[in-house]
Structure 1
Amino acid sequence: MTVPDRYSYGPYHDGPDPLAPPLDLRVALDQIGRDVMEGSAPRTALEELLRRGMRDTRGLDELTRQVRQRRSEIAARHRLDGTLHQVRELLEAALDAERGALFPDPSDDARFAEAQLDALPTSTAAAVNELADYHWRSETGGQNYQEIRDLLGRELLDSRVQGMKQALQNATPEDVERVGQMMSDLNDLLAAQARGENTEQQFADFMAEHGEFFPENPSNTDELIDALAGRAAAAQRMINSMSAEQRAELADLIGQAFGDPRIAQQIAALDATLRALRPGEDWTSGQRFRGQDPLGLGDGAQAMQDLAELDALAEQLGQSYPGARLEDIDLEALTRHLGDSAAVDATRLAELERELRRQGVFERTPDGSLRLTPKALRRLGETALRAVLGQLRSRRGERDTVLAGAAGEPTGATRPWQFGDTEPWDVSRTVRNAVLRSASTGSRRVQLEVSDVEIMETEQRSRAAVALCVDTSWSMVQEGRWVPMKRTALALHQLIGTRFRSDALSVIAFGRHAETVDIGDLTALEGVWEQGTNLHHALLLAARHLRRHPDAVPVVLVVTDGEPTAHLEPDGAAYFSWPPEPRTLAVTMAQVDALTTLGATVTVFMLGNDPELREFVDLVARRSGGRVVAPDLDGLGAAVVSDYLHGRRG
């Protein structure tokens, strides 16, 4: 009889969750693109993304906050007099037991012993030292006093070598002797290293003899020194954090460690050598602890190490030092303090940064800075265009057919038929769909169904020359119109670049002056405090673009939030005046008339409700046969794309 296989299921602990969703680079790029369009440098935008994180991934700022919260919790929960407190309790219990044993004894020796106990100093440390040669009559008292010595020894060693407190629990005199020998050999090894001697063989012999005390399993003397120096510096910082009275009391007590003053001497020699070998460790600072949970010397040293580790993690997560990389983050330390999920988030952020660079989202400019690549700009354009088309469909009930054209040359692309489509069928693909569908159901008869039909997309034969003039004056930034303007330009650029490739688009930015810009420069353009709205110069450049394409339908689109306050003088200088002078308005209208002679109509997308602006744009519309559109910011892209599609039909 065979026993069926049994399976057990549990949490996955070997790295990131293999079933976790892949990184969404498109969402990441959208966030970066928004920051870039708002004026951030691409590098700054990437850093900001990593600080904020994404929907399912905590960012560096949140991880840093949790690290600092964890640090604060340690300081708020604990105090550092745990060993002193334990010694005091053991001593009081020992003295009570001893007095109880002496009271029934009528002898002079008992009275003399009571007098000795009554004359003990009030200081716990001084009392422990005076009782070093006392002959205990109470078994409990003697055991408690020996426990004080063992406790001091375990705590003192544990504060320098992690894990010694557990290793020396219920230690025998032989165990104490072995520890003393280990400390002596350790000091000899470190002294030889400090003298510059080759300690390779000495280290190997030391680990063969005493390796059980070092679970870190260092591979050479330097690694051993690093581990010991970090622990010793933490112990010193813990002592620095105590009050002066506590430090003095502890200094008086440590000579009683295991009842052997040589242990304290070996510790002092170890500390001195480590300070000389690792002066860069923090030996001088302290930390204010304000909690109620007492910590012994070993646990206190561990708490100080934890605080130092948390400080290092906060610095690594902050990424504010020169040459910072996400690979610098200590994932093991992050896991210890915040759990596995924090390490997974940090890993995903590092992977996100690598993927963005690997996918060609950024490229380096000649001056060494980063900028978005054409590939990244296309992705941003796709996102912007998708949003615009969604608004058009929801507003007018249209589908993407307007983009392919109702008639004209086939583009080579096809799509499933939808109700109302009039484009020709792609017969071969339609029949193939029917055959595949019938075969999948096991039917030998092939019958066409509506779901099988695919139609051929076509491209309009008309060609347009499009001048998109966008206002880049400071008011666009100030009133929150900067990013919607850039998204509108991205959407139009993407539409023309993918669906109407024969059209010629010129993007013209105008503030005090106007200039023709490519879409990458416009996307990264920063808002600059500069007075002037030079629509006159922008229309001059638009006319130049239209003249280069005399066979195309002329389309001029203007996005602005202010009436013209500047114009171009014959010598090329920009003249500014507020309020606008009649001369500025006159030369601007003259340029509108010049565009009209080229067959162009000017559509103005008016942002804002300024009465003077409304009066001016109405005049432009009447003179050019164009129109005025006053969209809200969310509808700006849809309004511009819709007007372009309408205007390119002539």
Structure 2
Amino acid sequence: MLGLRFTNFDPNEGSQDKFQQLLNLFLQLLTYTNGDFSEAMDWMNQLDRQYGLTNDEYGMGDFIDELKEKGYIDENPVNGSIKITGKTEQGIRKSSLEEIFGKLKKTKQGNHNTFKPGQGDELNAETRPFIFGDMMEQIDFTESIRNAQINHGIDSFRMQEDDLLIRETDYKSQTSTVLMIDISHSMILYGEDRITPAKKVAMALSELITTKYPKDTLDIVVFGNDAWPIEIKDLPYLQVGPYHTNTVAGLELAMDILRRRKNQNKQIFMITDGKPTCLKIGKRYYKNSFGLDRKVVNRCINLAAQCKKLKIPITTFMIASDPYLQRFVQEFTEMNQGKAFFASLDKLGAFIFKDFESGKRKTVF
């Protein structure tokens, strides 16, 4: 038996190379610049001058060349313009996932697994005897042949119904999710950049759902004065517009999408600063940015109740700390019996989690 083996400590062993270090920073900056390569590189050069990110052996030009070689950027041969590729877009989402959820405690909440055996997606270690009605693809032929050899011997090998064993599978429920993102002007109001944290949470959620639960469906809806669907690849480029917050339009579109989904389990994730300010009545927009307008709020509360009747829980990610906005989110969430996460702008890794079904309050890291 070998004992412990000691070697000299090397501080550089296991550390990221220069390209990976710069790439991590580059992906972060792309989130803040809405996917603009030129602006992100301007920031990179400024940070390089201030903090010495590069050296004589590896310069910023080497970094750009490596980005091209590895497929992170694409240069237009006609005008020389450079754009990020789908590989970079996915890298931004993965980076957001690691940042937002990397430090969360492991929990069973949100897991799709159930304790019911049956015709599911994943095999488990349990087997049982064959019974009439079992499907051929459920038979574990390796164990069944072994069983037949034990029961009848190798010389007179034969297989009977009593020799067949069925491999149990774990059923994994499938969920249809609509992710709503607030892109109203209030998301950058008073000098607070709320849209960047919102995009990070959105990209983290989308990457989590598409990678861990690939059989689920995910639709993304943005809402300002109106609401419209976008694709996952559009998330890094999202920008705030000169819009009010028509939360009602976003919820109505989300509900309409989920009605067409065949999965039994459905849910809505809503990322917002929590203040609805707009309604569309016919062709006219009813707007009020001062305080919480009960005419607008009541429509939101009514939709939360409708979602509850349809068994569609709403999880709200609140990117604001104003007490009166949090009170609205509390009222909205209680009506739906959903969940709410209140996230500070400087520490998205920790949410104050409210579970209105159990009435418990705890902090999730």
Pairwise TM-score range, normalised by the shorter structure:
0.5 to 0.7
Q: Does 1:32 align with 2:26?
A: yes
User: SS of the residue aligned with 2:103?
Assistant: helix
Contact persistence 2:92–2:236 (CA under 8 A): no
Of 468-477 and 350-359, the range deviating more from structure 2: 468-477
Residue 132 of structure 2 corresponds to none
Alpha carbons of 1:564 and 1:399: their partners in 2 closer, same or farther (altered >3 Å)? Answer: closer
Contact persistence 2:278–2:287 (CA under 8 A): yes
Q: For the residues of structure 1 that align with 2:281 and 2:311, how far apart are their CA atoms?
A: 25
| 1:241-280 → structure 2 map (5 Å cutoff) | none
Deviations 1:498-548 (A, max 9, x none): 1101111122222233222223322122334x2411111110121122112
- The amino acid of 1:555's aligned partner reads Q
Q: Of 94, 98, 101, which aligns to 1:382?
A: 94
Q: Does 1:606 align with 2:318?
A: yes
Number of aligned residues: 292
**The structure with more strand, counted as a fraction of residues:** 2
User: SS of the residue aligned with 2:179?
Assistant: strand
Q: Normalized against structure 1, the TM-score is what?
A: 0.40
Q: Of 197, 200, 215, which aligns to 1:487?
A: 200
- The amino acid of 1:495's aligned partner reads L
Alpha carbons of 1:385 and 1:585: their partners in 2 closer, same or farther (altered >3 Å)? Answer: same
Deviation of the 1:600 alpha carbon: 0.7
Residue 43 of structure 1 corresponds to 38
Contact persistence 2:175–2:265 (CA under 8 A): yes
| 1:68-467 → structure 2 map (5 Å cutoff) | 342=56, 344-345=57-58, 348-363=59-74, 370-393=82-105, 398=106, 405=113, 409-410=121-122, 424=125, 461-467=172-178
Residue 337 of structure 2 corresponds to 625
What fraction of aligned residue pairs are identical, expressed as a percent? 24
Residue 498 of structure 1 corresponds to 211
Contact persistence 1:37–1:482 (CA under 8 A): no
Alpha carbons of 1:555 and 1:399: their partners in 2 closer, same or farther (altered >3 Å)? Answer: closer
Alpha carbons of 1:553 and 1:637: their partners in 2 closer, same or farther (altered >3 Å)? Answer: farther
Q: Of 473, 489, 512, which aligns to 2:225?
A: 512
- The amino acid of 2:172's aligned partner reads R
Q: Does 1:52 align with 2:42?
A: no
Q: For the residues of structure 1 that align with 2:180 and 2:326, how far apart are their CA atoms?
A: 18
Contact persistence 1:38–1:526 (CA under 8 A): no
Contact persistence 2:277–2:289 (CA under 8 A): yes
Deviation of the 1:561 alpha carbon: 1.6
User: SS of the residue aligned with 2:178?
Assistant: strand
The structure that has the greater radius of gyration is 1
Q: For the residues of structure 2 that align with 1:367 and 1:538, how far apart are their CA atoms?
A: 39
Q: Of 553, 560, 563, which aligns to 2:265?
A: 553
Residue 575 of structure 1 corresponds to 286
Alpha carbons of 1:635 and 1:558: their partners in 2 closer, same or farther (altered >3 Å)? Answer: farther
Q: For the residues of structure 1 that align with 2:65 and 2:304, how far apart are their CA atoms?
A: 50
User: SS of the residue aligned with 2:215?
Assistant: coil
Unaligned 5+ runs, structure 1: 1-18, 60-340, 412-422, 426-457, 644-650
Alpha carbons of 1:627 and 1:53: their partners in 2 closer, same or farther (altered >3 Å)? Answer: same
Alpha carbons of 1:36 and 1:513: their partners in 2 closer, same or farther (altered >3 Å)? Answer: farther
Alpha carbons of 1:368 and 1:595: their partners in 2 closer, same or farther (altered >3 Å)? Answer: farther
Deviation of the 1:566 alpha carbon: 0.7
Q: Normalized against structure 2, the TM-score is what?
A: 0.67
User: SS of the residue aligned with 2:332?
Assistant: helix
Q: For the residues of structure 1 that align with 2:329 and 2:109, how far apart are their CA atoms?
A: 32
Deviation of the 1:459 alpha carbon: 8.0
Q: For the residues of structure 2 that align with 1:500 and 1:32, how far apart are their CA atoms?
A: 28
Contact persistence 1:561–1:608 (CA under 8 A): yes
- The amino acid of 1:472's aligned partner reads I
Contact persistence 1:34–1:483 (CA under 8 A): no
Q: For the residues of structure 2 that align with 1:611 and 1:631, how far apart are their CA atoms?
A: 13
User: SS of the residue aligned with 1:532?
Assistant: coil
* Runs of 4+ more than 6 Å apart: 364-368, 399-404, 640-643
Deviations 1:546-605 (A, max 9, x none): 11213231111222223210122333x543222244332233233323322321122223
Q: For the residues of structure 2 that align with 1:460 and 1:509, how far apart are their CA atoms?
A: 33
Alpha carbons of 1:549 and 1:601: their partners in 2 closer, same or farther (altered >3 Å)? Answer: same
Q: Of 615, 619, 625, which aligns to 2:327?
A: 615
Q: Does 1:544 align with 2:236?
A: no
Contact persistence 1:484–1:637 (CA under 8 A): no
Q: For the residues of structure 1 that align with 2:48 and 2:339, how far apart are their CA atoms?
A: 44
Alpha carbons of 1:38 and 1:58: their partners in 2 closer, same or farther (altered >3 Å)? Answer: closer
User: SS of the residue aligned with 1:386?
Assistant: helix
Contact persistence 2:74–2:85 (CA under 8 A): yes
Deviation of the 1:379 alpha carbon: 1.9
Q: Does 1:521 align with 2:245?
A: no
